[in-house]
């Protein structure tokens, strides 16, 4: 996916009740968030991992994307 701006919406959903959401951009530190926030990314290729945590454990999904502005 290519974005024309570095201000990117991070909107997630789950079929389970998630108590805590975290993301890691380009293998950096995990950041807690509430779905529907915006985060900033510089020009170029990026990799994001999103984690959802509940009483059953932690699940994750990942996505590669490109910013070109």
Structure tokens at 43: 């020009």
pLDDT of residue 9: 93
Contact predicate 18/54, CB 8 Å: yes
Judged by DSSP in three states, 44 sits in: strand
Q: Give the mean pLDDT of 11-33.
A: 92
Q: In degrees rounded to 5, what are phi and psi of residue 68?
A: -135, 100
Q: What is the pTM of this model?
A: 0.85
Contact predicate 30/53, CB 8 Å: no
- For 31-68, how does the pLDDT look when each residue is reduced to its tens digit (9 = 90+)? 999 999 999 999 999 999 999 999 888 888 888 989 98
């Amino acid at each position: 996916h290519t974005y024309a701006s570095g201000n990117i919406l991070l909107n997630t959903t789950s079929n389970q009740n998630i108590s805590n959401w975290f993301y890691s951009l380009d293998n950096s530190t995990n950041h807690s968030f509430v779905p529907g926030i915006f985060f900033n990314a510089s020009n170029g290729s990026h990799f994001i991992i999103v984690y959802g945590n509940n009483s059953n454990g932690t699940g994750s999904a990942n996505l590669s994307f490109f910013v070109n502005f």
